[in-house]
Each structure stands twice: as structure tokens, then as C-alpha cells.
Structure 1
Amino acid sequence: MTSAPATTEDIPVAIGPLLRLAAPVVVSRLGIMAMGLTDTLVVGRHSATELGYQALGWAPTAIVLTTSIGLLSGVQVMTSQAIGEGRAADTGAILRRGLVYSLWVGILAALVLGGLGGPLMHHIGLATDLADGSTPVLQLFALSLIPILIADTGVFWLEAHGHPVRGMVAMWGANAVNLVLNLWLVPGTSPFPVAGATASAWATLGARVALLAFVAALIFGWSKSRGLGVFDKAPRDPAAAAEMRRVGYGASVSHFVETSAFAGMSIYAGWLGVTAVATWAIVLNVAALIFMVPLGLAVATSVLVGRSWGADDLPAVRRAGTLGFSATLAVTLFICGVVGFGADRIAAAYTLDPAVRAATTAALLLSCLFFVADGLQVVAAQSLRARGDVWVPSLTHAISYSMVMLPLGYYLALPAGLGVPGIVWAVIAASLCAAGLLLTRFYWTARGLHHG
């Protein structure tokens, strides 16, 4: 049974609803980074060698994880659209299909990463001790992909329903579990025969299982879940399942392209030397933290766009997109001001090395030129996917990051001799390219777009 399509009044396109959706998403995504930071700090204080094992185990895992998360984005898009169409009662079926899909994606990702990761570590030129030490870490990270992907499916569904606080609570609850397990296991004084990076990987697995349990409890304990069909068997609907996968394929390609391209830039920094590696690592970490803010705005904007699209309300689609872009522009400009005036202090918080500090300060000042464009491109990409425009964002990211950023970064950093600033200039160019193309696509197609 379905209800009437939502009206514009049912879909408030205003700064208040946008920020109420975005703020908890930002805090939740920061929780993901906090979990990795906890692992790094605890393992790093235990042993620098073990920290190397952990970093090597995480590098390929990050690519597989972000790519797999992209495959699940159809759950959020289709849930938002169904709510806009007045079919909220059907969203439980979307969740159930998404959970089954995420289970299979998680199993496949775990098998591929766990099975191929170890041999890969031994055939990419690493010293034998590094390959041996990082392999069990990678295999545990691979196993933990299953609970994190299932949990993320539930979080996406809750966010589409306008309840991001539940996902935020679950994520920080998992952070607490991760901290306790790291402090207990990493020193090697627990009753279990593990220590260092491998122990931290076990803590990650435990925290992700806890996250899944927390998300499940929050969904099953929600009073509206029964009315939304969460406890009912999802009807067989091959078309809906195929559409969910289609949306995910596009997002997955984008995530893979971006993650791989930035991994390539890190390799360029490695070719430049120790100071360059440290400088770029700090800049990348700061940029990743800042990116959580526009990412939260992107999720909130896509929910509003998706609901408006589902209600076949084209003016509301345009208003939601414009609101998201404007908020992102304002927030990222403010962030640029903070980073610009505080670049040296930020650098000093990361390093005591004078050379690295000076290089990082200069690179952070330059990076302010891509924070705005990078934020706008992710909001625009999510907004396009929310209205069913799946493959253009993927193509745009492939052009911007693979065809512009990678070759330009190599040329500017190495043959042109600009070093890390050359890498940053390449990121600026790619971000501007992506933002320009995606914003043009959004407004050009919105002129006469109709949800058919």
C-alpha cells in the first residue's frame, strides 16, 4: 500500500533542515577518522615497527573499503526517493535488500583482499619482514569489511530517513569499544597471544562488530521501523534491486578513482624524499578532516534532492541543490580562513621537524585553493546521483583525477621540480575541473529535467 506523493511542504528545502541533517553526519564521519587515529596513536606508542605493519595493511584495505561503500550508496538514494514519492512504507524492503547485498559485497571483498593481499605484500618489493608483519593485519582488516559494510547500509538508511543522529551515536559507541580494545590488546599484556598491529586489527574487528550491533539495535528499536516494513520479508523486485546496484556502481567507480589517484600522489611524494612524504601526509590528513564537513553537507543535500526528485518537484530539486552548494561555499571559505591564518600552528601540532613544519605551512596555505572546489564537487556529485544521474559523476571523476591530477601531479612535482607544491597544484586543478563540470551538469540538465 502506498500513500500520495509528497508535496513541497512535506520536503522542507531550507538551511535549518539541511544543517540538522548535515551536522550529525559530519560528526559520524569524523568518528570513522577518529577510529583510525586511535589505532595509529596506540600502535605508534607501542612500536614504530608495528606502526609500519599497520600502515601497510591499511593502504590496500582503504581502497577496497571505499570502493565497496560506494556500491551501497543506492540504499540511501532509493530510500530518499521513495520517501519523496510517498512510499515510506516500502523503505523497509529497500533496507532488507541492501543488507543482503552488503553481506555479499562484504564477503566478496573480504575474500579478495584477504586472499590476494598477502601475496601482493610479498611481490611489491617490500622487505620480507615488512611483508610478513603486515599480512596478518591486512587479513584481519579484510574480515572486518563484512560487519562495517552491513552497518554502513543501516546508517545510510537512517540518514535518508532524516535520523543521522542514530548513526552518529552508533559510530562513537564503536569508537569507545575500539579505544578500550586497543589499550587492552596492543601492549601484549592481555590473556591473548597478540600484540602490536595485529592486536589493533583485532580491536578494529571487534569495534566494527560492535558498530553493527549498535546500528541494528537502533533500527530495530525505532518505533517506526515496523510501519516502514523493516520486519517484513522484502517482496521480490528484480527491477528495484537492479536500480539499487546501478546507483552503487557509479558511486563505486568514483570512490575507486579518487582513492587510487590520491594513493598515486602519495607515491610521487615518496619519490621526492622523506621531508616531502611527511609534508604530504600531514596535508592529506588535514584535507581529509576538512573533507568530512562538505561530505556531511553532500549527504544532507542528496537526501533533500532525492526526496524532491521522488516527489517530481523540479523547483525543489533546484532549490535543494543550490542551498547545498551555497552552504558548502560559505563553510569551506570559512575553513580556508581558519587554515590560512593558522597554517603554522597546524603544522606545529603535527611535527617538531623545522623543515617539515616550514614545508607543511606553505603547502597548507596553498591547499586553501582546493578546499572550496573539492567540497563543491562532492556535493554536486551526490546531488546528481540523488536524482538518478549516476554515470556522469563517475566519468567526471575519471577525467579530473585520472587524466588531469595524476599526470599533472607527476609533471609538476618531479620534472618541473615544484615538489609538494606541485602535487597540491595538481589537486587544485583536478578539483576545479570536477566542480566546474558537475555544477554545470546539475544546472544545465535541471532546466528541463522531468522525473519520468
Structure 2
Amino acid sequence: MNILRPQLHTRRIASLAWPLLVGQLAVIANGVIDTAMTSRYSALDLAALAIGASVYVSIFVGLNGVLAAISPVIGQLFGAGRHEQIGYQMKQGAWLALFLAILGSIALLFPQPLMSLAHATPELSEKATLYLQALVFALPATMGFRLYSSLNTAIGRPKMVMALQVAGLALKVPANALFIFGGFGIPEMGGPGCAVATATVSWMMFLCGAAIVRFGPTYRHYGLFGTGLVLPRWTAQRELLRLGIPMGMSYLIEVTAFTFMALFIARLGATAVAGHQITANFATVLYMVPLSIANATGTLVAQAIGARDPEAARRIGYAGIRLSAILSVTIGAIVWVLRDLIARAYTPDPTVIAAALPLFFFIAFYQLFDSVQVTTAFVLRAYKVAIVPTLIYAVALWGIGLGGGYILGLDPFGISPQFLQGAAGFWLGNSASLALVAAGLLWYLRIVQRHARG
């Protein structure tokens, strides 16, 4: 039975991970659709979309990371069989989502401090500001849908979330066409029309999710409705914030590490940054595989912790890390073999292809470190541990990754070898930093697990 148990854990993780993966890919595809359709409208609107989307992602990822604290809380309650308390925690999560949406909306309504970093022309800045201000209407719905997604993932029911995300993607195309190019009495909006389409689709997804929770028989015994109004309680909010703030910071550190990496590489010229962008975009798509496995693994670990089975939690955690690493290494090897075809699928420009191809070497082993670190991070979050991992992220990704990449890629001290100068130096620095994060998180996970076993 002990021989079969790891296989059983792996199958459970895989069955929970694949709907999460499909849903994540649908979310990413929304950005691809925005870019493709706006590029057919005008270059100015495409540039405004790029700036606006960068600002929005920075705000949304941080807020989303804070709200993600609800997942391990609900997972542990579900594993412990304390279903009647799930409704109370979800209502506290709804208050937190509301507070975060207000903060995010203020930042989106007045984005000038962030916009000033782009040094954009007044016309470009105005378009990007309109895009961000339109997203104010989307933010409450996206935060609400995040709650719905967290609940379903925590109780092991991600397929309906996946279905709504895929349906939202299907609706995004006609909504974009309507608001970007105009029609049926609606004026053409260009790039900001993407934000209006996003708000429309987000509210439809959120309202569908809310209706499913309200009327679905599966959710009746969780006390989500019919239990009266629950005001925000500081003790519950403090528990969520104690876990959510460092989680949000870790999400923000990961995003800004890549953002500043692109900004530094941009100093090397358009060809270098274009080659980097191809590699980074493809790496983001590949990242969805370990991210989905990490999410599934964290859910099952939280349930095992709630059931007071630390040995099962330990086995599930390592099964997820192992599965994520094996798949990522396999995918990395396949990408290396097919790198030329992949680069040509992005662009026909031979100079950009030449700039991108050497960077695909890093994907081959970068995937291993990235998969291990993200899965381990989610396992630690299932134990409600986030502060030390965030410190590890900050030191490694900002210090070793960005700092080391700057020294190697831009070579300000004249010590970097020729083959590492340019974008390759930044990718090596980032890969080395992820290796350190993976090692540090694995080390800390052992300490947390020993403590959990008493």
C-alpha cells in the first residue's frame, strides 16, 4: 500500500490540476486577444494598451495575492470537516475583497504617479489612463470571481471555474470587437474598449458564479447564504492579512523582477528586447503548468492539514513537487529541440529570431527551478506560512536575479564574459535566483513539516 500511495497522491493532484491549467490558459488568452485586436486598430492604441496593461497587472497581482490567503483557510476548514465555518470565512473574505477593490480603484482612477515612469507622450498617456479608469468597473467583479474560484478550488471543485473562464474567453472576442471598433450605436473606443469589454465579461462571470453558489445544492451546507449579515471582524481580517500581505508581496516581487528585467534589456535596443519578449512570453505560457500543479498540491495539503494528518500532508507536498519538476524538465527539453520552430511562429524577422534563440537555452533548465519553487511556495502557504518565503523571494529575485543580471548583462564593471553580455546575462541571473529560491524554500519546508509533526 505504501508503494501505491505516492501514485494515488499524484493522480489526485493531476485530476485537480488540469481544470486549473485550462482556466489559467483561458485567462492568458484574454491578453493575447486584446493585443491582437488592438493592433488592428492603431499603433498608438496598442502602445497605450501595453503601458496600461503593465500598470494594471502590477496593481491586480498584488491585490490578488492578498486575497489568495482565503484558499488555505477554506482548504483547512474543508479538510477538518468544519463546513459550517466556511460561510463565515468567505464573508470575511468578501469584506477583504471589497476593501482591496476600493484601494485598487483609487490607484486606477489616479494612475499618474505610475504612468510618469513610462515617460509617454500626452496622447499616449491619455489613452492609457482611459484604459485604466475603465478597468475600475472590472476590478470589483474580478476580485469577487477570485473568491468564487478560491472556494471551488479549496473544496476540490475547479471544473465549473474552468467552464466560466473558457466561456468568458469566448465572450471576449465579440465584446472586444464591439467596444474597440464600435457598432450598434456604441462609438469606437480603440484600446480603452478592451477595458470596457473586460469589465462586461468580468461581471457576467462573477454574477454566474454567485448564482451557482446561491442556488447550487453543493454549497447549501457551507452557510454562505441565509445566515444573516456578518460584519467585518478584526480577528478574522488579521488572520487573512497576516498571510495575505506577504503572499501579495511575493507575487509582486515575481512580477516586478520580470518587469525591471525587460526595462533593463530595453537599454540594449529594440532587437534585444524583442528577442527577450518572445522568450518571456513563451516562458509565461509554460509557467501555467507548474502553477496549476502548485495550486492543486496546495489545496490537497491544506485539506490534509485540516484533517490533522501531517504525514499525508508531507507526502502530498512532495508528490506535487516531484510531478511539477518531472513535467517541467520534460517540457523544457522539448522546447529546446523545437526552439527554432517556436521562435519562427512568433516572428519572421531573422534578427529577432537570432536574438531569441540563445535565450531558449535557459528555458531548458530554468523550468526545473521555477516549477520546484512555485510548488513549494504553495505547499508552504497551505501551512499558512508566507513571511520567510517572501524574504527569500526578495533577496534572491531582486538581489541575485536583477542585481546579478544587471552586472552580467550590462557589464558596468567590465568583468562579464562576452557570451553573457546582453539579455543572456539577465536570464542567467534570473535562473540562478530561482535556483536559490527553490533550494531555500525546500529547506524551509522541511523545518515547517518537522514542526507540524511535533
TM range (shorter): over 0.9
Instruction: For structure 2, list consecutive stretches of 5 or more residues without a partner in the other structure.
Output: 1-6
Amino acid paired to 1:91:
I
Q: Matched residues in 2 for 1:50 and 1:342: separation? A: 33
User: 2:297·2:320 contact (CA, 8 Å) conserved in 1?
Assistant: yes
Amino acid paired to 1:408:
G
> Which of 175, 180, 183 lines up with 1:186 in the alignment?
180
Matched, 1:53 2:56: no
Q: Matched residues in 2 for 1:372 and 1:347: separation? A: 21
Q: Matched residues in 2 for 1:200 and 1:235: separation? A: 36
User: 1:57·1:141 contact (CA, 8 Å) conserved in 2?
Assistant: no
Amino acid paired to 2:151:
W
> Which of 140, 147, 150 lines up with 1:153 in the alignment?
147
> Relative to 1, partners in 2 of residues 1:317 and 1:375: Cα closer, same or farther, differing over 3 Å?
same
Q: Which range is displaced more, 50-59 or 416-425?
A: 416-425
| Correspondences of 1:314-333 after superposition (within 5 Å) | 314-333=310-329
User: 1:92·1:234 contact (CA, 8 Å) conserved in 2?
Assistant: no
Aligned with 1:394: secondary structure?
A: helix
Q: Matched residues in 2 for 1:255 and 1:52: separation? A: 25
Give 1:140's aligned residue. 134
Give 2:437's aligned residue. 434
Per the TM alignment, residue 243 of structure 1 is displaced from its structure 2 partner at its CA by: 1.1
Matched, 1:288 2:291: no
> Which of 292, 295, 298 lines up with 2:294 in the alignment?
298
> Which of 96, 101, 108 lines up with 2:96 in the alignment?
101
Matched, 1:419 2:417: no
Q: Which range is displaced more, 362-371 or 118-127?
A: 118-127
> Relative to 1, partners in 2 of residues 1:122 and 1:252: Cα closer, same or farther, differing over 3 Å?
closer
> Which of 400, 403, 412 lines up with 2:399 in the alignment?
403
User: 1:13·1:316 contact (CA, 8 Å) conserved in 2?
Assistant: no
> Which of 431, 445, 449 lines up with 1:446 in the alignment?
449
> Which of 187, 197, 201 lines up with 1:203 in the alignment?
197
Aligned with 1:86: secondary structure?
A: coil
Which deviations, in whole Å up to 9, do the C-alpha atoms of 1:198-230 show, x marking residues without a partner? 112211111111221122123223212111111
Per the TM alignment, residue 342 of structure 1 is displaced from its structure 2 partner at its CA by: 0.8
> Which of 57, 65, 69 lines up with 1:70 in the alignment?
65
User: 1:13·1:320 contact (CA, 8 Å) conserved in 2?
Assistant: no
Q: Over aligned residue pairs, what C-alpha RMSD do you find?
A: 1.8
Per the TM alignment, residue 420 of structure 1 is displaced from its structure 2 partner at its CA by: 1.1
Amino acid paired to 1:367:
I
User: Which ranges of 4 or more aligned residues in structure 1 deviate by more than 6 Å?
Assistant: none
TM-score, structure 2 as length reference: 0.93
Q: Matched residues in 2 for 1:123 and 1:444: separation? A: 41
Per the TM alignment, residue 240 of structure 1 is displaced from its structure 2 partner at its CA by: 2.9
Aligned with 1:388: secondary structure?
A: coil
Matched, 1:89 2:79: no
> Which of 12, 15, 28 lines up with 2:10 in the alignment?
15
Q: Which range is displaced more, 134-143 or 248-257?
A: 134-143
Q: Which range is displaced more, 392-401 or 211-220?
A: 211-220
Q: Matched residues in 2 for 1:388 and 1:336: separation? A: 31
Aligned with 2:187: secondary structure?
A: coil
Which deviations, in whole Å up to 9, do the C-alpha atoms of 1:141-199 show, x marking residues without a partner? 24322211111111011100100111111111111221111122212344122321011
Per the TM alignment, residue 450 of structure 1 is displaced from its structure 2 partner at its CA by: 4.0
Per the TM alignment, residue 72 of structure 1 is displaced from its structure 2 partner at its CA by: 0.7
Amino acid paired to 1:381:
A
> Which of 372, 375, 378 lines up with 1:376 in the alignment?
372
Per the TM alignment, residue 234 of structure 1 is displaced from its structure 2 partner at its CA by: 6.3
Give 2:167's aligned residue. 173
Per the TM alignment, residue 118 of structure 1 is displaced from its structure 2 partner at its CA by: 3.5
Aligned with 1:352: secondary structure?
A: coil
User: 1:186·1:194 contact (CA, 8 Å) conserved in 2?
Assistant: yes
Give 2:342's aligned residue. 346
Give 2:254's aligned residue. 258
Amino acid paired to 1:201:
A
Q: Matched residues in 2 for 1:25 and 1:225: separation? A: 20
Q: How many residues align?
A: 440
User: 2:145·2:205 contact (CA, 8 Å) conserved in 1?
Assistant: yes
Matched, 1:386 2:382: yes
Aligned with 1:224: secondary structure?
A: helix
Aligned with 2:452: secondary structure?
A: coil
Q: Matched residues in 2 for 1:238 and 1:336: separation? A: 46
Q: Matched residues in 2 for 1:395 and 1:234: separation? A: 38
> Relative to 1, partners in 2 of residues 1:38 and 1:448: Cα closer, same or farther, differing over 3 Å?
same
Q: Matched residues in 1 for 2:120 and 2:160: separation? A: 42
Q: Matched residues in 1 for 2:154 and 2:51: separation? A: 35
User: 2:90·2:224 contact (CA, 8 Å) conserved in 1?
Assistant: yes
| Correspondences of 1:4-43 after superposition (within 5 Å) | 14-43=9-38
TM-score, structure 1 as length reference: 0.93
Over the matched positions of the two proteins, sequence identity in percent amounts to 28
> Which of 239, 243, 262 lines up with 2:235 in the alignment?
239
Q: Which range is displaced more, 380-389 or 416-425?
A: 416-425
Q: Matched residues in 1 for 2:185 and 2:55: separation? A: 30
Per the TM alignment, residue 298 of structure 1 is displaced from its structure 2 partner at its CA by: 0.8
Aligned with 1:225: secondary structure?
A: helix
Which deviations, in whole Å up to 9, do the C-alpha atoms of 1:365-386 show, x marking residues without a partner? 2222211111110110111011
Give 1:7's aligned residue. none
